[in-house]
Amino acid sequence: MNVIWTATTVAALIALCFSGGDALSVCIEGCTSAVTVCFGLCAVYCLWLGVFRVAEQCGVIDALSRLLRPVIKALFGCVSPQAEKSIALNLASNVVGAGNAATPSAVQALAHTEKGEKLSRAGAMLFVLNACGVQMVPSTVIGLRASAGSAGAADILPVTVICTLVCAAVGGALTSLFFRE
C-alpha cells in the first residue's frame, strides 16, 4: 500500500509540474476550502459536545435514560444502568445529527455491554442503529450545506427523517431476527 501511495503522490507532483500555473492556485483554493469546512464542522461538534456535557452534569442525561428505559429495554434487552445512560446519550447525540460527537458514548456503551469475545445483541443493535444514522435533525449535513452557501440548508429535513426511520426499522428488525435469544 505504501508503494501505491508513494507512486500516486509522485505521479501527481510530476503532473503538477507540467500542468501550468493554474493547478497550484486550484490546489491552494481546495486546501483553503477544506480548512473552512473543518472549522465549520468543528464548531458544530463543539456545540453539541458542550450541550451534552452540560446536560450530563445537570442530570438531564439520567432523566433521559429513565425516559428512554422502555425503548432501550425493547431494543437492547437487559443492560446495566451505566450502559443505559451511555446508550441514551448516544441515541440523543445521533438524533440531533451529531454522529461524530456520539462516538465516545457509543464506546462507553459497548464497554458496558460487551463481555467476552462474542458480540452481544445489545452491541449489535447499537452498532446497527449508529450505522443507520438515526437522525431527526442532521446538524452535520445542515452545517456543511450552510458553510457551502446553501439558501435552504435545512430543506433536507423531511427526506432525512423518512430515510432514517425506514433504515433504523429495517436494521433493528434484522438485528432482532439474527440475534434471537
Most confident of 26-30, 47-51, 172-176: 172-176
What are the pLDDT digits (tens) for 64-84? 878 888 888 888 888 888 888
Q: Which of 40, 57, 3 is nearest to 142 (CA)?
A: 40
Average pLDDT on 154-174 reads: 90
Query: 0.75 cut: is pTM over it?
Result: no
Q: pLDDT value at position 63? A: 84
First to last CA, the chain: 42
List C-alpha distances in Å: 127 to 42, 103, 124, 137, 168: 24, 11, 5, 20, 11
Per-residue pLDDT at 9 = 92
Q: Read off the pLDDT of each residue in 144-165 and give the average, rounded to a whole number.
A: 87
Give Cα separations from 94 to 11, 12, 80, 82, 126 (angstroms): 41, 38, 21, 18, 11
